[in-house]
Amino acid sequence: MEFFVKSGNPEKQRVGCVVVGIFDRRTLSSAATLVDDNSDNLISSVMRRGDLDGRLGQTMILQRPGGLFADRVLLVGCGKEREFDDVAFKKANAAAARALSNTGTIEAVNYLTELRVKGRDTAWKVKQALLSSREIFYRFDECKGNKEEKGKKALQRLTFAVSSRVELPVAEKSLIEAVAIAEGMDLAKNLGNLPGNICTPTYLADKAISLAKTYSTLQTRILEEADMEKLGMGSLLSVSRGSRQPAKFIIMEHMAGPKDAKPIVLVGKGLTFDAGGISLKPAAAMDEMKYDMCGGASVFGAMQTILELNLPINVVGIVPSSENLPDGDANKPGDIVKSMAGITIEILNTDAEGRLILCDALTYVEKNYDSDVVIDMATLTGACVIALGSHATGLFSNHDRLAKALLNAGNISGDRAWQLPLWDEYDQQLKSPFADVANIGGREAGAITAASFLHRFTKKLRWAHLDIAGTAWNSGKNKGSTGRPVPLLTEYLISRANSQD
Ligand code: BES
Ligand code: MN
Ligand code: ZN
């Protein structure tokens, strides 16, 4: 599908459908008023008859409106005008996209981007309208033998309207960014949704190699288990020992920024299936542990976006990838392993494996890069899901400015994070009588003790950790990857690119 921006009045559009907003209590938006004025009050009479009142998310299609050039008008309820905020804006756009995909229209012009949203400019509205629409159009059918038939005539061109020509350049720039973000999210979602028997560490490594073939700025390197052995990644390798799939350590470098600029390093947990190991997980919903590589997937997604935009920044993406399965050679509770940092770890629960692969990845980063900041993403703890639910990602950082920048990127993109503390009291819970550190810290504050564990390996870095266990995928009826935290990451990276020139 193609996306455009334009300025111009709705009654003049020669397209399959124009999309206009209606507020609660039957208030017409200015685009709706123009349609109404030119169509012999078509909209106000429909509303007067009580068929539509403007509740948020309500939609109605009016066919062959007289006096217009368009074949249809799609009315979209936007709720109370005073309450039309970020969330309402996205909901209205999602409702519009859903309604459009149920029509035969090939081309539509959406005027919701002209509505006023408090504190948000045209660039933001275009970006969010695009992302909300792409969210609705996303399908994962790679594994269906019998592909669902695409509707007779699917929407091919969607244009977002801006209220004046002056705004077109910003809107266009924002649209290009938004499409690249949507592509990055789709990649992250696809990788997440793929089953564990297809999306293995080797599959992810091959994906990184193929990305480097597509984008000339990308340098990909894959470390094999033998390489990791030489580097002393005893913690990471201990997880992979219980699996027949070889672990891969994936390195992607996009060094398109100034030569002397220190790179931003993204590290993503790439556990392609987490059965828990000898500390086996219960059977219920265990299939969802194919999503335990969503941190890694978000690194791929963010890389894809910055590669597509060819952002002039230095970014390194690192994805340590493995499975966690029970096996005769798997980690056992009580085992002690030595990490690349030289810190010994007592593995009291083999299901706390994410931190075991991440600690070696973080040490690798510390030893091999003079990094500006390091951000890791991981579906790390069930405890984070209990603390924050599926709405916010857990954020931990040893650097206030980085934490603020990431929280801000989350607020702008709507992919929000919430900061939790890294106090020493929590770190105390990780004491082990036999090794330097234990890999679990007891029942209390599980998300924080997991982050504290990682913090032991990042003392020399400006570092942030995003626990995305609650936000990376949806369970239940709408099971599927969300693509989070690609919006947050790309917002941060784009703003970094903008602030340097
Ligand atoms: N990948 C899981 C975390 C997870 C669980 C994410 C459920 C989303 C939903 C992680 O490897 C894990 O198993 N963590 C354990 C840690 C515990 C043993 C200290 C957990 O959260 O139960
Ligand atoms: Mn686990
Ligand atoms: Zn895990």
Three-state SS sequence of 424-481: HHHHHHHCCCCCCEECCCCCCCHHHHHHHHHHCCCCCCCEEEEECCCCCEECHHHCEE
Tokens 């690798």 found at = 364
**What is the position in ligand 1's atom list of the atom closest to the CA of 449?**
19
Specify the DSSP element, H or E, that contains 131: helix 122-137
pLDDT digits (tens, 9 = 90+) for 260-310: 999 999 999 999 999 999 999 999 999 999 999 999 999 999 999 999 999
As for ligand 1, residues whose beta carbon falls within 6 Å of it are: 274, 292, 349, 351-354, 379-383, 385, 440, 446, 469
CA distance 404 to 38: 49
Nearest CA to 169 among 112, 126, 117, 111?
126
Give 386 Cα–ligand 2 centroid separation in angstroms: 16
pLDDT score of 123: 98
Joined tokens for residue 223 = 């470390």
pLDDT at 311: 98
**Nearest ligand to the CA atom of 438:** 1
**Is residue 49 very low, low, confident or very high in pLDDT (cuts 50, 70, 90)?**
very high
Between 486-500 and 400-413, two packed helices, what is the crossing angle to 10 degrees? 110
What is the separation, in whole angstroms, between the first and last Cα of the chain? 32
Q: Facing residues of 220 across strands?
A: 252
At 393, is the secondary structure helix, strand, or coil?
strand
Residues 6+ apart with CB under 8 A from 233: 249, 339, 340, 360, 364
Asked whether the beta carbons of 247 and 271 are under 8 A apart, the reply is no
What are 73's strand-pairing partners? 18, 62
151 has a pLDDT exceeding 60: no
Q: Does the N-terminal peptide bond of residue 195 adopt cis geometry, omega within 30 degrees of 0? A: no
pLDDT over 90 (residue 427): yes
In 97-234, the DSSP E strands lie at: 107-110, 157-161, 218-223
Most ligand 1 atoms within 8 A of CB, residue of 269, 351, 359 to mutate: 351
For residue range 78-110, what is the model confidence (pLDDT) as tens digits? 999 999 999 999 999 999 999 999 999 999 999
* Ligand 2 centre distance from Cα of residue 380 (Å): 8
Residue owning the nearest CA to atom 7 of ligand 1: 382
Give the model's pLDDT for residue 324. Answer: 99
Atom of ligand 1 nearest to the CA of 470: 8
Maximum distance among all alpha carbons in the chain? 82
| CA-only gyration radius of the chain, Å | 25
Considering every ligand atom shown, identify the ligand nearest to the alpha carbon of residue 451 and give its number: 1
- Tokens representing 375 are 């951000």
> Strand, helix or coil at 184?
helix
Residue 149, pLDDT > 80, answer: no
Tell how far the Cα of 471 is from the centroid of ligand 3, in angstroms: 14
The single residue of 6, 98, 173, 281 carrying the catalytic annotation is 281
Catalytic pick among 355, 416, 456, 496: 355
Q: CA 159, CA 161: separation in Å to the nearest integer?
A: 6
With 80 as the cut, is the pLDDT of residue 393 above it? yes
* Residue 64 is a catalytic residue: no
Average pLDDT, the chain: 97
Q: What are the respective helix, strand and coil percentages of the chain, to the nearest 5?
A: 40, 20, 40
Q: Which two tokens stand for residue 51?
A: 């068929």
Ligand nearest to the CA of 322: 3
Closest CA to 319 of 338, 302, 343, 340: 302
Inter-residue contact 391 to 471 (CB < 8 Å): yes
> Which residue in this structure is represented by tokens 């699996």?
243
The confidence score (pLDDT) of residue 377 equals 99
Q: How far is the CA of 162 from the centre of ligand 3 (A)?
A: 45
Residue in 2, 128, 24, 3 with CA at minimum distance from that of residue 75: 24
Of ligand 1's atoms, which has the minimum distance to the CA of residue 382? 21
Q: Could you tell me whether strands 344-347 and 437-438 are parallel, antiparallel, or unpaired per DSSP bridges?
A: parallel
pLDDT at 224 over 60: yes
Ligand 1 atom index nearest CA of 279: 18
Q: How confident is the model at residue 500 (pLDDT cuts 50, 70, 90)?
A: confident
* pLDDT > 60? residue 152: no
Cα 394 to middle of ligand 1, angstroms: 14
- Is there a catalytic annotation at residue 6? no
Characterize the bridge pairing of strands 393-397 and 417-419.
Answer: parallel
What local confidence, expressed as pLDDT, does residue 491 receive? Answer: 98
* 279 CA to centre of ligand 2 in angstroms: 9
Which of the ligands is closest to the CA of residue 272? Answer: 3
Region 156-167: mean pLDDT is: 97
Helix (H, G, I), strand (E, B), or coil: what is residue 345? strand
What is the distance between the alpha carbons of residues 164 and 111, in angstroms, rounded to a whole number? 12
> Which atom of ligand 1 is least distant from the CA of 383?
21
Q: Measure the CA–CA gap between 221 and 235, rounded to whole angstroms.
A: 21
Contact, 355 vs 384, CB < 8 A? no
